[in-house]
Amino acid sequence: MDFGSPTTYHLPPTASSPLLAIDPSLRSTGFAILEGSDQKVRCLEYGVIHNPQSLSVAACLKNIHERLAEAIDKYHPEAMALEQIIYVKSLSVAIVMGSARGAALLAAEQAGLSVYEYPPKRIKQAVVGRGGAVKDQVGFMVRALLGLRETPPSDAADAIAIGLTHLRAMATVLPSNVKVSKTKKEKRFTAMEGIEGMKEK
């Protein structure tokens, strides 16, 4: 299965249910398939869904959706984790970012996955130890934490970090500390700001 990335990493899947973690972007959506718990995590696959500038927005969204649907069909995750929408000054950028997220959320909804969202600073705090970490630090830490043979591309590293944040949150947050909102077919979970052990410095 080709995710359009020159760098992918695979391990044979095991019996536990994997997690699909996504760092959505119109031109370079990072993804990762993780399984395990906060104490022991395996990365089954990671990569980047590249969309060249020559592709239209609609074609990019179609490609993102199809590639994620393929990953879901291959690994059968029960949940998707992704970064919460960040504040952007440009309306056009916000629309593009929202569209990429929409393609990912549609794939999750069609497969019946639960969706978990985490603030950007919480993700960096969980993986690096501080909310102001830069991308290089995130990449270094995910490689070290998972014992990867190489440092993942930055978008894939961000997706792995999102997945690690989710696994840590599930290990430390009681159900009463998780905010749940439901639509007809979708359950979306947002980790509360007071996640134990993940306070900002």
Which residues are catalytically annotated?
Answer: 23, 83, 155
Could you give the CA distance from residue 188 to residue 80 in angstroms, rounded to a whole number? 10
The total number of residues shown for the chain amounts to 201
Name the residue with tokens 């998707």. 80
Using alpha carbons, list the distances in angstroms from residue 28 to 100, 101, 146, 171, 174. Answer: 10, 12, 22, 30, 34
Could you give the CA distance from residue 177 to residue 154 in angstroms, rounded to a whole number? 31
- The one-letter amino acid code at 93 reads V
Name the residue with tokens 């990449």. 139
Task: Tell me how far apart the terminal alpha carbons of the chain are, to the nearest angstrom.
Answer: 41
Host H or E run for residue 155: helix 154-172
Q: How many CB atoms lie within 10 A of CB 181?
A: 9
- The one-letter amino acid code at 153 reads P
Could you give the CA distance from residue 86 to residue 162 in angstroms, rounded to a whole number? 14
